[in-house]
Amino acid sequence: MLSRYMLIAVGALGIFLGFANPLSISGSDGSFDSVPFAVLLYPFCLYVLAHKSRHYAADTLLAGIMGYGAAFYWIAQTAHVYGLVPYALAVFFPLLLGLYFALYGTFIAYYLHKVRFALPLCKIVSAGILWYLAEVFRGWFLTGFPWFCLSSAFAPVPSMIQFANVAGAYGLSGIFAASAFFFAELMLTDRQQFQCGAWSVRICRFGGIIVLGALYYYGAVTLQNAGQDPENAVQAQNVRTRTLHREADVPYKTVHEIPAIVGLSEHSVLERQNADQVYCTIVQGNISQNVKWSPLFQEDSLKKFFRLSREAEAFLGEQSIFVYPETAFPVTAYHYRDLYGKILDFSQNKTMLFGIPFYINDGGGKYFNSIELMQDRKKLGEYAKEHLVPFGEYVPPLPLPQFFADMLEKYGGAYSAGTNDSPFLTVKADGKTLRFLPLICYEAIFPELTWEKLQGKNGRAASEVSVLLNVSNDAWYDKSSAPVQHLNLALMRTVESGLPMLRASNTGISAFIDKYGQIVLQSGLFTDETLTVPLSVQPYEPTLFAALAPYLPYLGLALFIFLQMMIVLRRKMEILRSLSEK
């Protein structure tokens, strides 16, 4: 049996290695080689410690703090660079957030400790459901922060996440956790019990393999069927790439932080397969957060995005819908009319979807983090971000120092939550109509936001949606694993909804993801790139999850309560039997 100290270390290491981490990032291309299955070591160790350690609460709390704290290391970097917090203090930020996440694991360990004498199958299923409910709660509590959803660790393995189209990312997390609990029970139970025990005990011997095998089989069959459909097949071999080399007698850091200087840029085109497809071009401008909001470089930033767009259009040789990242144009139509006029002029004979702040002068004045749809010098639509990031885009109404508000204003924050008449942006181009479902940055990590928008008013809006549109700005995190973690979380929305995703990020990772969570084309980190991909115009076919999503938490809670009644009833019967034997 592993010692409690070994279990703590293994559980923490499982979290760190299972999710994208600094060891998994290989170069500026943003490629990574994480170890998804390692994440199962954390629930495995929780289960064993809950059964064997007298100090299970402290042990599981320590494992969670170490693991999640290490995986959140990039928060210290962001707080130091952009919040000007000394590193000696900044290192405590990821540990505090790790403590919050660890509390959920310790709560599940507490439950397992209390029901450790229950039938293994009943206990494991209950704990898996509890893991699911914990992730649902974490996505709601205090405006929600569902980072490190257990199933998102498996995003690099598309065959393992396809069941999210039924259970959702949270439900899939509960299933993965249950598989780890089965393996833990196998280690705790001796062979004699497996051979002579009840069927519910013996089935646990192969429970972990059965669960993971079933998920893989379901995913493999789904992807195999997808591969037979030309519309959904990944055609990465049909990519044309062109790299423009522009000599600059300055370091790349200067090229990056002074947008007017022209540096290396790469343009990739995924060839379309039929005339019914419409080209969309993701433009990754790669503007440093240090200069993004400086008035000295605002016009330079616009010029860089315009240049990359012209280069991509020339390489493609025909028109495309241009998609730009979150707050790609750091100006407002109210305060910077001349610069906004240049955006209008550039949109002549073009269709553009771009992130830009929106200002309303209602006396006090309000800023909104928004996406605008512009075509032929006309603004045709707008979407304002509805779910804001606490301390990143607004300061919660708490007695906090003015320092927080000042920092947000410095870096373009201090937004108000948007209210949108329609959750969609409809684009008419090349004689075809595409309907985009926008998710700005942080919004893409919340499953409920997507399915609520898909349901629409009277359940009719989803029938014509074509693609998920996720614009983001991960420049805050520099070259860390945070952009990869964010990408993996956003990727889960494609499998849940059955819709492809266009993801435009300022400094990466931008990507085109098909409706099965397969990354067809992606950019690197901190690179000047454009990605041109074809989108099909076809009716939306909702997944089973899109229909079940509002009811799944209630079904999970009802099943959990039923199982607890069964556990209590069986325990009482055992007590009565033992008393009668005496």
For residue 144, give both structure tokens: 């929600």
Output the pLDDT for position 13: 96
* 544 touches 166 (CB < 8 A): yes
Contacting residues for 504 by C-beta, under 8 A, at least 6 apart: 282, 283, 284, 323, 324, 325, 326, 328, 470, 471, 472, 510
DSSP state at residue 27: S
DSSP H stretches of helix in 82-163: 87-90, 92-114, 120-138
Output the pLDDT for position 439: 96
d(CA 44, CA 42): 5
Output the pLDDT for position 177: 98
DSSP run (H or E) holding 39:
none
d(CA 160, CA 138): 23
Q: What is the pLDDT along the chain (582 residues), one digit of tens a residue?
A: 578 999 999 999 999 999 998 876 654 444 556 799 999 999 999 999 999 999 999 999 999 999 999 999 999 988 888 877 888 899 999 999 999 999 999 999 999 999 998 888 999 999 999 999 999 999 999 889 999 999 999 999 999 999 999 999 999 999 999 999 999 998 887 655 555 556 666 677 889 999 999 999 999 999 998 875 555 545 555 778 878 755 555 666 666 667 777 778 899 999 988 878 999 999 999 998 888 888 888 899 999 999 999 999 999 998 999 999 999 999 998 889 999 999 999 999 999 999 999 988 877 778 899 999 999 999 999 999 998 887 777 766 554 555 555 555 554 557 888 888 888 999 988 788 899 999 999 999 999 999 888 887 555 556 678 899 999 999 888 888 999 999 999 999 999 999 999 999 999 899 999 999 999 999 999 889 999 999 988 888 889 998 899 999 999 999 999 999 999 898 888 777 877 776
For residue 8, give both structure tokens: 């703590």
d(CA 568, CA 28): 55
* 477 touches 74 (CB < 8 A): yes
For residue 538, give both structure tokens: 């076809």
pTM for this prediction: 0.92
CATH topology (fold) of 238-538: Nitrilase/N-carbamoyl-D-aminoacid amidohydrolase (3.60.110)
DSSP state at residue 272: -
d(CA 362, CA 143): 26
Q: Which of 209, 111, 131 is nearest to 174 (CA)?
A: 131
d(CA 129, CA 396): 32
How many Cα atoms are found within 13 Å in the side-chain-facing hemisphere of 573? Answer: 7
Every domain of the chain with CATH number 3.60.110.10 lies at: 238-538
d(CA 195, CA 18): 34
d(CA 542, CA 454): 9
Grouping H, G, I as helix, E, B as strand and the rest as coil, residue 576 is helix
pLDDT in tens, 89-122: 999 999 999 999 999 999 999 999 999 988 889 9
d(CA 127, CA 66): 22
d(CA 262, CA 243): 13
